[in-house]
Each structure stands twice: as structure tokens, then as C-alpha cells.
Structure 1
Amino acid sequence: MAKKRTISQSEIIELYMNHVLIHNENPKTIYIFAKENNFEEQRFYEFFTSFESLEQCVFKTFFDNAHSILEKSNDYLNFDARNKLLSFYYTFFEILTANRSYVIYALENNKTSLKSLRNLGKLKKRFSNYIEHLNIKTLDLKQERLIKLQDQSLKESAWVQLLITIKFWLDDTSASFEKTDLFIEKSVRASFDLIDVAPLKSIIDLGKFLYKEKVQMN
């Protein structure tokens, strides 16, 4: 009897991603998935409770990889909050692009259900925690209740912005996703200008860009 392979969490994720891209469906069962890849079924349960929990870990892993790359850069560590967020976006979307086929499978193929949102649950927790620790300057409120409300609103709006950017990227047909890069730069700048109560020039600029893209797509 062949000896079962020792396998890591990241290897299981990679095997799962390869399976769904080749077969365009989940493995039938965890038992079959483990048997086909010559590892003990119990090893799967050391990391995940189901294929659904594995799918959530995929997007969390994309975030963790992007964050790990950034944390190794001295330039990034010295950036202000705006440029840190910009750097995160560019790095995160490079990783998404490298795995675009899987992201399309996981999100677009399930866009009519709640499954895609569940897939992003752990990513949301990671990203919200990241936003919380960016030390973004906001209004200097004196009441603790208002401060908590403002912080929560900031995290929720940042999450919505990330979802909108992912949707834009999924629909982007430009070479090397150049329009997504432009959208990232304009939307992050606009969001910070709103927080800083700065002039509305960048907001108008973003609006013109989105209107032009909508007209072209139609």
C-alpha cells in the first residue's frame, strides 16, 4: 500500500483550486478528494471543516500574501495611510490577476447566490482589521459612541469600495487591466479626500471616469 503524502494547508488549497478549474466543479466528497491526491482525509480536517471553509481561506490567503509582501518593504512601512492602501490594492490585485481563472469561478459563477459573499467572509475580517490599523485620520469626535460609529462606518465603506473594485476588475477588458489600476488610483484618492473634507475635484474626476466607462460599455 502506497504511503500517504504529508501535505500542508497551502498545498491542499492549491490542489483544490486546480481541481475546480480543470473539472469546473467541486470534488464530489472530501474523501474522494483526499484519495485522488494521496493524503489522509483527516489531514484535510486539521485545516478545514468543509470545502466551503477552504474557499473562504483562499481569499484570506490572497490577502495574507499581499500583506506579507508589503510588510517586507521599508518604503511601504514609511508610507502614509493613503499610499499604504494604494500599495495594498495594487499588490492584492496583482495576486488576484495571477489567479484570475479561480476568482472568476468562485465569484462570477456564483454571483446570483449568497455563496460568493460567504467566500469573502474571512477576507472581510482581515481587510477590516487592516483598515482599522492604518491610522486613517478622521474627524476628531469627542464622544466614544460617535467615535465607534465613525470607525465602523469607515471599515464598512472601505469594504464596499474593495468589492466595487473587484467587480470593476472582473469586468475590465483593457490590456494588463490598466483601467483597473486607474480606477484604484482615482477611487482611493477620492475616498481619502472625502474623509479629509477636501475639495471635490477628485470625486468629480472619478465620476467622469465611471460615466465614460459606462457609456463605452453600453
Structure 2
Amino acid sequence: MTEKNQSKSRNTDQRSKIIEGYVEHVLENGEEPVSVFKFAKGLKMKEEVFYEYFTSFEGIKNAVWEMIFDHTKADLESQEVYPSYTAREKLLGFFFTWVEELKKKRSYLLAVYGDKPVVPIPTSSEWKGFKEKFRDFVKEVILEGKETEEIADRPYISDKYDEALWLQLIFVFRFWIKDTSPGFEKTDAAIEKSVNLAFDLMGKSAVDSFVDFAKFLFQSR
């Protein structure tokens, strides 16, 4: 292994150590560390080493969410049938696969977000990387949907589809973290119903058909 590769591997190990240490601390204590100094000391790491990778605990939360997204997308795209999915099926597949990833970290997520009457929406810094990755993903799905005419291309409104699907993701997360049904079956139902509703709304409606017909009549005069 070259010196450059060794350095890269060491950096990856240190970063992973910090993330894993943070998650473990939250699981064991039900709250985040009181300070970076104490946290780094517990990892037998100098405080300045922590700051080489993260500027705050918010940054670690963001890294955890990015990992969840990356694992979700990798698992979804590894399925042989995925390329043949319709746009609707790809979004459904994402949500179902994402929830499976969330289950693996449910105790951590409950400790961070689940102890309040109303589940808080993670701050912009906590979900920054995840949100960017998710919106890039759904923009591709939306483009495919437009090409296959599953999704209607409406002036001005189409540009907001990705934001609407982001709000849907927040809804699913808040629903899931409070779900106590066996196997989270209510969350599965919420995903299916909300995604189908989203595609019905984004799809070509009777109003669109009427407008198209009216345009045709006007242009045919």
C-alpha cells in the first residue's frame, strides 16, 4: 500500500471511529456528549483530531444520515429488477428500502428524535447531505416519469415536485418513528398510499386532458 493510500485509509478509520463512537454514546446515554473535549477524550483522541473531520456534533448527525441514504440507494440499485421499475415503483422501492435501513438504527434515532410529543424535523445541517442526495435521486425519477408520461410536465409546478417528495419523506419519517404496529405495517401502508397519491397528483389528470382538448379545439379552428 502506498503512503497516499495508507493516509486515506487512516483518515477513513478515524472518521468512522468518531461516527461509531458518537452513535454508541447516544445509545448508552440517551443524549449526545456534553462537549467535544470529553467525547474526544473518551475515544482516546486529541480534540484537534476530531475537528479535522467534523466541526460539531451536527456534522456527525449529517454523516449518519448520508450513510443511511448511501446504503439505501446501493441496496435498491443492487436488485436485478430495479432497472425495469416504473418511476412510481422506484420511489416506492426507495421508501421501503429506506425504512429497512432506518430499522437498523431505530434505537439511535429514537434517542435523538423520538422522545418528544411531536417528532422534530432534523435541522438543515443534520439533513443537508441526505437532502441533496435524495433530491438528486428523485429528480432522476421525475425525469424518467416525464419521459414515460407517468408524470405530467406542468409549467412552474413541475419544478416543485422534488420539494413535495422531500416533504413526503419527512412525513414518512415522523410517521415511522411513532409507529408501534407489528412489523411497522402501518408505515408500509402509509408509504404505499402516500406515494400512490403523489403519483396520481403528478400524473396527467382529467383537468390536464380537458386543457389539452381545449388547446386542440382552439388550434384547429
* TM class, shorter-length: 0.7 to 0.9
Amino-acid identity (%): 35
1:166-199 deviation per Cα after TM superposition (whole angstroms, max 9, x unaligned)? 1111221110101111111111112111111358
Q: 2:17 is aligned with what amino acid?
A: E
The CA distance in 2 between the partners of 1:162 and 1:115, in whole Å, is 11
User: TM-score of the superposition, structure 1-length normalised?
Assistant: 0.76
Q: 1:63 aligns with which of 45, 58, 69?
A: 69
Counterparts of 2:78 and 2:49, CA distance in 1: 31
Q: CA deviation at 1:87?
A: 0.9
The aligned counterpart of 2:105 is: 99
Which residue does 1:190 correspond to in 2?
A: 197
Among 68, 72, 81, the alignment partner of 2:78 is 72
- Segments of 4+ moved more than 4 angstroms: 109-115
1:178 maps to 185
Structure 1: 5+ residue runs without aligned partners? 1-5, 200-218
Return the index of the structure with the highest Cα Rg: 2
Q: 1:80 to 1:10 in 2, by over 3 A?
A: farther
Structure 1 residue corresponding to 2:91, chosen from 85, 94, 103 = 85
- Write the distance in 1 (CA, Å) between the matches of 2:157 and 2:63: 29
Aligned-CA RMSD value:
2.3
Which among 8, 12, 33 is matched to residue 39 of structure 2? 33
Give the TM-score taking structure 2 as reference length.
0.75
Residue equivalent to 1:153: 160
Amino acid corresponding to residue 164 of structure 1 in structure 2: F
Which stretch has the larger CA shift, 189-198 or 162-171? 189-198
Tell me, in whole angstroms, the C-alpha distance in 2 between the residues paired with 1:182 and 1:112.
Answer: 21
- For the residues of structure 2 that align with 1:65 and 1:111, how far apart are their CA atoms? 29
AA paired with 2:136?
Answer: N
Pair 1:46–1:69, CA change in 2 (3 A) = farther
Paired positions, count: 188
Structure 1 position 153, deviation (Å): 1.0
